[in-house]
Amino acid sequence: MSNIYENINQLYTKTGFTEKYGSELWVTVIIIVLFLIAITYFYIMNNIKPILADWDNQKCNPAVIPFAGLINNGKNTTPFEFTGQNFTYCIQGILANITAYAFQPFYYLMKMMTDAFSELTNALNSVRAEFDNIRTSMHTFSTETMGRTLNITMPIVQLMINIKDMGAKVLGILSASMYTLMGSYLAMKSLFLFIIDLIITILIILAGIIAGLIVANIVAFGALTPVIAANTAIMILILIPTIMIKIFMDDILHLSTRNTPSVPGCFEDTTPIKLKDTSIKNIADVVVGDVLCDGSIVTGIMKLSAKGQDVYNLHSVIVTGEHRVYNGVTNTCINYIRGEGGSAPWVKVKDHPDSKLLNKNEFNKPYVYCLMTDTKSFMINELLFSDWDDIDETVIEKLTENCVPKGYIPPNFTNADIHDYLDNGLHPSTKIKLKSGRETTIDNVRVNDILIGGEIVLGTIKIDATKLKGIYEYRIDDDISIRCSTNITINNYLGGINTFNLYGNTILDKTPCLYLYQLLTTTGSFNVHGLTIGDYNHGIDNLLI
């Protein structure tokens, strides 16, 4: 009983409206809907003719849509299919109308934005048109101005071209004249030397004949006779002009019948060189940058032909006779290297009292070697030798006073600065043409090679480039440039110019140039890109003229 009571109490006290009357509510709704459908159906059926007459306007009436198939059945369709088709059509039309109405503000906004952008485009086109007018006006103005300017300047330019052309022609004529004069001078010099050499040869032959006659008279008569006295007088008369002609040629005209110039002194390839670390190398194996036992740093290596060299043995050092050696004691020698010994008594090896001349059997090697150092001297077997340049205090003083462009070298210039400021060399990529027609770089040129101009290479020089004050690219002409140091003589036969006086561009190679190269030739020069370049000896010698 209690459960029944609790269920009844819960039914009337704790349940909601829908739980109590939900079924009745749904029944009521269904009855009302059915009632409305019935009323609508009967209304439509009673008014079917007006609806059919105005079907296009009435087919989407909410009261007509559910009964469209009954009112106006379509062809080949059932009433239900026609009602569905009509419903779909009406819903689409209603949604289209609603959407169009809903998006009218957006359409209006888009129209306003389109109009605004159209106005902006028109404004920009107007600005562009104005700038176009300005540009056209400026172009017209500049064209007319340039035309009038050209009308004025072209005659001047033509005049300058004519002047330049005339100057080039004059330069060509002068160059041809100078080369002609130089050729004539050299031809006359050769002829003069030939004549003098012939005269000297004849005089020497006559002197020999007369000397033979004198000896024959002495042998025949056993005493001096008038014939011997006459022959002696004639020989003296012949010798006097011969000696005078020789002195005139050598000391006044500076002419010589010698074809190949002498090469300064150098050493045998196996000459031992002691380094600062106490190791010993043959001079042929020394490299640029080595530090010698006396503290000197090797700044250059020279390899030269030994042909025609007189070679001596001085305290077991095999060296050519023209090389200078310090003729003093060892301690004084060390002091001199340090700059503490004053003037040193330098002598040539051939003039040293302890030197001994070697014959061809004792020395027959094809090459000799020499060093260049930052102190301009180096030691071998306790002997102090000068390096290739043979620099002394007089040369330093002359270079400091007037031989180099002012301001280039420091005022306290010493022999230790010569390499940094005045050493000369060419970039290893410099092209050199040989007599055979082959072209090679200067670092591959070898001793005794014959160059394009017939010059014979007497020596090759490898120079430390890391401490030089300048390595530049000098543009001589539009299509001719040369990479070298700041002390290269160009076209030395015609007076020449030095790269000191030229503007050079800094070389911007990715790999820095560590070494420069130079040559020594029989003519004192060689050809590079059509330019006559002074050989290594011109570096210092050209500054002392």
Residue 148: predicted pLDDT: 86
Residue 94: predicted pLDDT: 80
Instruction: Please provide the average confidence, as pLDDT, over all residues in the chain.
Output: 80
Structure-token pair, residue 315: 């305290």
Contacts 24+ apart (CB under 8 A), 69-72: 70/45, 71/44
278-285: average pLDDT: 93
Residue 52: predicted pLDDT: 74
Q: In whole angstroms, what is the distance from residue 122 CA to residue 257 CA?
A: 95
283-305: average pLDDT: 92
**Do the beta carbons of residue 283 and residue 273 sit within 8 Å?**
yes
What amino acid is encoded at 77 in this protein? T
Q: In whole angstroms, what is the distance from residue 57 CA to residue 44 CA?
A: 15
Q: Which CATH class is domain 272-389?
A: mainly beta
pLDDT beyond 60 at 272? yes
Look at phi and psi of residue 495 and say left if phi exceeds 0, alpha if psi is from -120 to 50, else beta. Answer: left
Q: In whole angstroms, what is the distance from residue 196 CA to residue 192 CA?
A: 6
Q: In whole angstroms, what is the distance from residue 391 CA to residue 155 CA?
A: 58
Render pLDDT for 422-436 as a digit per residue (tens, 0 to 9): 899 999 999 999 999
Percentage of the chain lying above the pLDDT 90 cut: 23
Q: In whole angstroms, what is the distance from residue 305 CA to residue 323 CA?
A: 15
Q: Which CATH class is domain 421-541?
A: mainly beta
Indicate the angle between helix axes 226-247 and 104-221, nearest 10 degrees.
170
Render pLDDT for 110-164 as a digit per residue (tens, 0 to 9): 888 888 888 889 889 989 998 899 999 898 888 888 888 888 888 888 889 889 8
Structure-token pair, residue 380: 């071998």
**Do the beta carbons of residue 428 and residue 443 sit within 8 Å?**
yes
- Maximum distance among all Cα pairs of the chain, rounded to whole angstroms: 198
Residue 487: predicted pLDDT: 86
Render pLDDT for 217-271 as a digit per residue (tens, 0 to 9): 666 655 555 656 666 676 677 667 767 766 666 555 555 544 444 455 689 999 9
pTM score: 0.55
Q: In whole angstroms, what is the distance from residue 229 CA to residue 250 CA?
A: 31
Q: Domain coordinates of the chain in residue numbers?
A: 22-102, 272-389, 421-541
CATH topology agreement for domains 272-389 and 421-541: yes
Q: In whole angstroms, what is the distance from residue 527 CA to residue 431 CA?
A: 9
Task: Identify the burial level of 113 via C-beta atoms within 10 angstroms of its C-beta, where 0-12 means exposed, 13-18 middle and 19 or more buried.
Answer: exposed
Q: Which residue has the higher pLDDT, 310 or 10?
A: 310
How crowded is residue 321: how many other Cβ atoms within 10 Å of its Cβ?
18
Structure-token pair, residue 25: 């509510």
How crowded is residue 412: how many other Cβ atoms within 10 Å of its Cβ?
7
Residue 335: predicted pLDDT: 43
Render pLDDT for 502-545 as a digit per residue (tens, 0 to 9): 888 877 676 788 999 999 999 888 999 888 898 998 888 777 76
Q: In whole angstroms, what is the distance from residue 286 CA to residue 274 CA?
A: 10
What residues contact residue 544 under an 8 Å CB cut-off, 6+ apart?
A: 395, 398, 399, 403
Q: Which of 39-48, 281-290, 343-352 has the lowest mean pLDDT?
A: 39-48
SS3 assignment, position 242: helix
Q: In whole angstroms, what is the distance from residue 265 CA to residue 190 CA?
A: 29
Q: Which residue has the higher pLDDT, 477 or 295?
A: 295
